Amino acid sequence: MALESTIISHGMPYPQNVETALNVEKVIRDNGAVPATIAIIGGRLKAGLSKDEIEYLGKTGQAVTKVSRRDLPIIVAKEMDGATTVATTMIIAAMAGIRIFATGGIGGVHRGAQKTFDISADLDELSQTPVTVICAGAKAILDLPLTLEYLETKGVPVLGYKTKELGAFYSTHSGLSVDYQIDSPKELAKAIFVKKELDMKGGILVSNPIPEEYSMDETVINKAIDQAVREAEEQGIHGKESTPFLLARIKDLTGGDSLDSNIQLVYNNAKLAAQTAVELSNLG
């Protein structure tokens, strides 16, 4: 199963990013699946990185190019290194025949998108590339109701694991509902299998809310998010810089507390993804 690399280089600080990336691979192996962290190294698409390559991406951080769909052919042509977003990780995973992918949070419709048009390429990717993405919902740096509307328009199934409430990334509860609830890795594997049998393009998005014991206080986290969004607007941050800027500011504003939650939810998603991958391989 797949793991992304933008979360390593742009989503978390060094050295916690490398530590998390290596631990998450262990969680996957402990649950019976095979991890493939995806990135571009010297223009080569890689599904499965060495420890040294993960260390390199983590240490280089934001200096590595963040590669979404539009960047992919150019970075390969220029034989550069790239950290892959959810969209690009899905593309490379599909090429490698990988059907399941665990991450932290996906990109979505940003707050204020009515004016800025800032909608992550992750959402369109989910509508065209056959990879199931397991995340902890989405951060409130996004407009969550609009993100759900967009996914509905694009025909992407959105499932909640053991709940119909969408996860709010750092916190368990968002107050928003997803389409369907699934209650086991086996049930999820069947949905993935059936979608493929029906020859439908696109993926499935699974929201696996952060366990209550790691959930952040909603007032604290929302205050930090509001401030980060305000600062981004004031400083004219836009385009691909927007998400990394917000993630880094939120971490600083919460004094690092958000990072602990972030790490735990990634492990939680990796475990569910690994168990689902095992069930899916039993189905063929």
Contacts to ligand PSU by CB under 6 A:
4, 6-7, 11, 68, 85-86, 104-107, 120-122, 139, 169, 240, 243, 247
For residue 105, count other CB atoms closer than 10 A to its CB: 26
Q: Which partner from the list Mn ion, ligand PSU, none does 174 bind, CB cut-off 5 to 8 Å by kind?
A: none
Nearer to ligand PSU, 134 or 189 (CB): 134
- Show the beta-strand stretches assigned E in the chain: 2-3, 36-41, 44-47, 65-67, 82-84, 100-102, 132-135, 158-161, 180-182, 204-207
Q: What share of the chain is helix, strand, coil (3-state, %, to 5)?
A: 50, 15, 30
Window 63-102: contact mask with Mn ion (x via CB under 5 A): ----------------------------------------
* Catalytic site includes residue 4: yes
For the bound state, the minimum distance from the C-beta of residue 243 to ligand PSU, rounded and expressed in Å, comes to 4
165 binds Mn ion (CB under 5 A): no
Determine whether 213 is exposed, middle or buried from the number of CB atoms within 10 Å of its CB (0-12, 13-18, 19+): exposed
Partner touching 122 among ligand PSU, Mn ion, none, CB below 5 to 8 Å by kind: ligand PSU
Q: What is the three-class DSSP state of 275?
A: helix
Rounded to a whole number of angstroms, the CA Rg of the chain reads 17
Compute the C-alpha angle 84/88/90, nearest 5°.
115
The β-bridge partners of 134 are: 102, 206
d(C-alpha 70, C-alpha 245), whole Å = 20
State the nearest-atom distance from the C-beta of 187 to ligand PSU, in Å.
26
Q: Does 118 bind Mn ion (CB under 5 A)?
A: yes
143 contributes a contact to Mn ion by CB under 5 A: no
From the list 46, 66, 139, 251, the catalytic residue is 139
CB of 116 to Mn ion, least distance (A): 9
Q: How far is the CB of 15 from Mn ion (least distance, A)?
A: 27
What are the residue numbers of the active site? 4, 139
Which residues bind to Mn ion, rule: CB under 5 A? Answer: 118
